[in-house]
Amino acid sequence: MRGPQDAGSTGELFLRACTEACFRNRRENNLTLVTEFFLLGFQVSHGIRISLFCLFSMVYCGTIYGNLLIIILVSTSKNLHTPMYFFISQLSISDISVTTDIVPYLLHILLSNGGTITFIICITQFYFLCTSEAFECLLLPVMSYDRYVAICNPLRYTSIMTNQHCVILTVICWLLGYSFSLIFITTTTRLIFCGPNIIDHFLCDIVPLLEIACSDTFNVHLEIYVVGIPVVFIPTTIIVMSYTNIILAILRIPSSIGRQKAFSTCSSHLIVVSIFYWTLFGVYVFPTKGQTVIISKILSLLYTVITPLVNPIIYSLRNTDILKAVQETHHKRSIW
């Protein structure tokens, strides 16, 4: 079984091949070759940029620490060796990937009041961002299905959500995430960038890249809507259906204590889903016509920087099992 790292290495080779092919195509057509872009970042005063640098540095450290803590706890604590926590640990891996892909260069841009990024690095950043976001879009409905089986069909939960089943579902999500990203990368590298190379953003994303492209972007827009069906709309439908059945099942529980306990097992996931999809739909699916660049940057910050920090906080503060595992780990270290 090939893991995500092997798939990522293959993706990097594919990126280089696509980029080189794109460069050859532009040379053959005697077009001005744009080999680098300039990311404006946040055009604010020096004092505000330093404050943002300190803030995002702390957010980045907190994100890495919080998500690594969850991964370590799930790996070492026997009480957390369940499908739900396995999926949470995979979500933490995705969050680390997103924030590591975006924040380091964001910090550089803040210090330098903008920064130059080569074409291949820009495309690589977009590739790993797209992969992590696509993976999370596919993982969240899997997690909602896990909660659906646990609450609506508890007697068959252990036979349905086996360890092998969970691993297979996770590997499929990762592979589909890499595959959908390669589709976008293949089309994006065929775009012609012959005009201004200034991107009024802090990251290389599909929307700002399309805005400065000189060639026709119809195929890319069509691809976004076609791929968006299996990546966004179908998972969203699965989540809505799962939680509709979950809520109906909870309402049928006679005791208020039982209803509260059942709802607490899925409330954290519901909060994470709401935050993630709200920002995702705001940036890619239903951006308002009057949406300014500032609003676009804020929404991008939410799902690339803030959400990876919030996820482990939500899952840890609202989860007694994880808090108990933290206390046990701390107790063992204090004994040693």
Q: What is the pLDDT of residues 54-95, one digit of tens each?
A: 999 999 999 999 999 999 999 988 888 999 999 999 999 999
- Span 90-103, mean pLDDT? 95
Q: Which residue has the tokens 């592979």?
A: 175
The CATH T-level fold of domain 4-335 is Rhopdopsin 7-helix transmembrane proteins (1.20.1070)
In degrees, rounded to 5, the angle at the alpha carbon of residue 161 between the alpha carbons of residues 80 and 239 is: 95
What residue type is assigned to position 132 of the chain?
S
* pLDDT over 50 (residue 7): no
Measuring CA to CA, how many Å separate 316 from each of 3, 57, 75, 106?
Answer: 27, 22, 15, 27
* pLDDT over 90 (residue 265): no
Q: What is the pTM of this model?
A: 0.84
Backbone dihedral region for residue 72 (phi beyond 0: left; psi -120 to 50: alpha; all else: beta): alpha
- Span 303-323, mean pLDDT? 83
Which of the two residues, 201 and 284, has the higher pLDDT score? 201
Q: What is the DSSP string of 307-327?
A: HHHHHHHHHHHT-HHHHHHHH
Report d(CA 195, CA 325) in Å as an integer: 55
Nearest to 127 by CA among 283, 7, 301: 7
- Span 160-185, mean pLDDT? 93
Quick one: tokens of 276? Answer: 């993630």
**Average pLDDT, rounded, for the chain:** 83
